Amino acid sequence: MAKGRSLGLSRKKQLYGVLFVTPWLLGFVLLMAIPFFQSLQFSFHKLTLNSEGYSLQYVGLENYHNIFFVDAWYVRTLTDAVIAMVLDVPLIIFFSLFTATLLAQKFRGRMLARAIIFLPVVLASGVIAKLDNGNFLAQMIGAASTDLEGNYSGLRSIELRPLLLEAGLGINIVDYLTGAVDRIYQIISSSGVQILIFLAGLQSISPSLYEAAKMEGATGYEAFWKITFPMISPLILTNVVYTIIDSFYDNGMTQMIQDAAFGRLDFGVSSAMSWIYFLVISVILAISTYWISKRVFYYD
């Protein structure tokens, strides 16, 4: 009887999972499937616009050969995008988890603190950015603040660098930390969704677990690593996947792909660039998901 009930519950979870992804599957089939496979076709052809629409001339792997061996910037731009992702993702995940842990505590003014934390996320949204682009005064103020930040050492990491070097840290670690300080606004503005996910996970942890740990004499440090961190480890995987995808969404690589398609009207080369970019992202996601999923704790 218990076995049948267990199978029924497992089957129900599977159906809920299928139901959850159904909207995405329908959207992909109805809206994205045809352009997806057409772009693969274009990557092996030279596309020419004409009065009837477009015509295709098969060129084989010529487009891929051009982007790897003729174009001097593609490989370099792709490498820079991957390096930027590798540097930023750990910082965003750490900052998001740290901030969510603080915001999950009960203290006076918690709602105000949450509003202040999410303010850079709102200001970095697409609507606000477009409003700022059309506001000449806002552009001048932004340029002035950027110039001030660049000239005033108190706003940057110039004072932090010698302190870290004197503390005995390696030059690579110092460069990584000071670079994170210089990009603090970018890190904060890219952490909004991750903070929300971590905050929801922290609030879903049963208080009885912390009460039992406290009765056993566990410190706050031990409670975090023995209870909090394992319980939210599935959300770490979710946030890592989201952050990797988000980091590849808008960068020099995507701009190069757009310039090739809509600037030079070379849709074949643009499609080849897109598919190489897609494969690189897929490999990174597969490796990251496999490595992290082996260390995720699932509480049943």
Burial bucket for residue 160 (CB in 10 Å: 0-12, 13-18, 19+): middle
Residue-wise pLDDT tens digits, 124-137: 555 455 554 544 44
What's the average model confidence in pLDDT over 100-110?
Answer: 81
Residue-wise pLDDT tens digits, 146-159: 444 444 434 456 66
Q: What percent of the chain has pLDDT over 90?
A: 18
Q: Which helix (H) or strand (E) holds 254?
A: helix 252-258
What's the whole-model pTM score?
0.77
Question: Is the Cβ–Cβ distance between 104 and 207 less than 8 Å?
Answer: no
Question: Is the Cβ–Cβ distance between 90 and 190 less than 8 Å?
Answer: no
65-68: long-range contacts (C-beta < 8 A, 24 or more apart)? 66/269, 66/272, 67/269, 67/272, 67/273, 67/276
